[in-house]
Structure 1
Amino acid sequence: MDYQIARHNMVENQVRANKVTDPLVIAAMEEVPRELFLPESKKGVAYVDEDISIGNGRYAIEPMVIARMMQIAEIETTDVALVIGAGFGYSSALLSRVAETVVAIESDATMVEKAEKILQDNNYDNVIVVEGDVVAGYPKQSPYNVIMFDGAVAEVPEAILAQLAEGGRLLAVVREAHKVGVARLYEREHGVIGHRDLFDANVPYLPGFEPVESFVF
């Protein structure tokens, strides 16, 4: 399989076709090989327009969603970004081609080890993968100019919103229980965090961020 041709077709048919025009985002999507960040058995479907299971309840979310969120985040080359849920590192690698530094928090020790190896072996030197509680974010290196979730959340924890810098942007797909997911932008301006909904996106939940089911008696 010619992955380079498949990747180019993905950019043309999935990314550009969904109103992504930012040249830095397009370049990142063209450059970063998604197949490197998938299990061996899934490499052949690396460029399909869907979320791909990477094990343990985790998914590499569809490239179009990542690309649209990156464009809306208006990432600058001096920005420090935080990725919640590193997985095998695909989203982190994409952000690293635009931001100055990327911190990726991941709770699964095996995935941390795998992500570190893939990123180091392929010279993504401005990505730092940290093992820890994804629900808490990574306040040690905060504040961040950009925060992105690599999976859907029922809600964004206040503890993670607190890690946004002034002027910072947080992107997440928010899926309340039994509702359609929506990509949402949170921004901190003059110390106040506001948000607005962007587009529908039904990516799988990031483990730890699922809705808490309530029982009606």
Structure 2
Amino acid sequence: MDWEQARYYMVEQQIRPWDVLDQTILGLLLELKREDFVPAAHRDLALVDMELPLGNGQRMLQPKLEARIAQEVALTGKERVLEIGTGGAYLTALLARLSKQVYSVEIDATLADAARPKLAKAGIQNVVVEIGDAARGWTKHAPYDVIVASGSYPTTPDFLFDQLTEGGRLFAIVGEEPVMTATLYTKTGGSVVATKLFETVVQPLQNVPQPERFAF
């Protein structure tokens, strides 16, 4: 496979049409080798517009969604970032290249252990990958300038707002299949402003808090 040509087509045919136009991010997508972050069995599908299985029921997000997330959180290189769910670590790599420090927490120890050498191979040194359940956040390094959840929540995860700095941003996909909305929450002046971005569907985070259900 001509990986560089395939990478170019991924950017031009998948990423740009999904309103990812930030030149820094587009450059990173051409530079960071996504095929080095997917399981070996699916390497040839690394640049295809689809989720990929990671094992243990986990899936890697589509390239266009990873790119769109990286764009929407508007990193400037100065932020401390919490990523909830490391997964295949490609989004982790994008966030790391755009920020000061990333704390990525993965509930699956196998995925966490696999992520570290992938990031090292890509020359990324500003990521701490930790094993744990961060569905309710990760107070160990809080507060954060940006929090990114790589899986969905059934309702607004307002319990994460306390772990944001003033002016901090939370990206979360909220809802239940078949209707989920990617939303950016910005903490301003003691309140939080929610901006709905786009519709999508991704698998829920493991152990995600569930809303109370009415019983009839």
Same fold (TM over 0.5): yes
AA matched with 1:119: L
Q: Which residue of 1 aligns with 2:202?
A: 203
Q: Which residue of 1 aligns with 2:126?
A: 126
Q: Which residue of 1 aligns with 2:8?
A: 8
Per-residue Cα deviation, 1:20-76 (whole angstroms, up to 9, x for no partner): 111221122222222112111111111111211111121111121222222221111
Q: Which residue of 1 aligns with 2:184?
A: 185
Q: Is the 8 A contact 2:86 2:106 kept in 1?
A: yes
SS at match of 1:162: helix
How many Å apart are 1:181 and its aligned residue? 1.2
Q: Which residue of 2 aligns with 1:78?
A: 78
Q: Which residue of 2 aligns with 1:154?
A: 154
Per-residue Cα deviation, 1:119-173 (whole angstroms, up to 9, x for no partner): 1233111111011112132212111111111122213433322211111111111
Change (3 A) 1:11 1:131: same
Structure 2 gap segments, 5+ residues each: none
How many Å apart are 1:213 and its aligned residue? 8.6
How many Å apart are 1:196 and its aligned residue? 2.0
Change (3 A) 1:44 1:212: farther
> What is the alpha-carbon distance in structure 1 between the residues aligned to residue 72 and residue 121 of structure 2?
30
* Higher mean displacement: 22-31 or 85-94: 22-31
Change (3 A) 1:79 1:60: same
Change (3 A) 1:144 1:57: same
> What is the alpha-carbon distance in structure 2 between the residues aligned to residue 128 and residue 4 of structure 1?
29
In percent, how many aligned pairs have the same letter? 36
Q: Is the 8 A contact 1:81 1:101 kept in 2?
A: yes
Q: Is the 8 A contact 2:136 2:208 kept in 1?
A: no
> What is the alpha-carbon distance in structure 1 between the residues aligned to residue 205 and residue 34 of structure 2?
19
* Higher mean displacement: 182-191 or 51-60: 51-60
Change (3 A) 1:44 1:160: same
Q: Is the 8 A contact 1:171 1:186 kept in 2?
A: yes
Change (3 A) 1:212 1:193: closer
Give me the CA root mean square deviation.
1.9
Q: Is the 8 A contact 2:103 2:128 kept in 1?
A: yes
SS at match of 2:186: strand
Is residue 2:52 matched to residue 1:52? yes
Q: Is the 8 A contact 1:78 1:100 kept in 2?
A: yes
Structure 1 runs (4+) deviating above 6 angstroms are: none
TM-score normalised by L of structure 2? 0.92
> What is the alpha-carbon distance in structure 2 between the residues aligned to residue 40 and residue 80 of structure 1?
31
> What is the alpha-carbon distance in structure 2 between the residues aligned to residue 57 and residue 162 of structure 1?
30
TM-score normalised by L of structure 1? 0.91
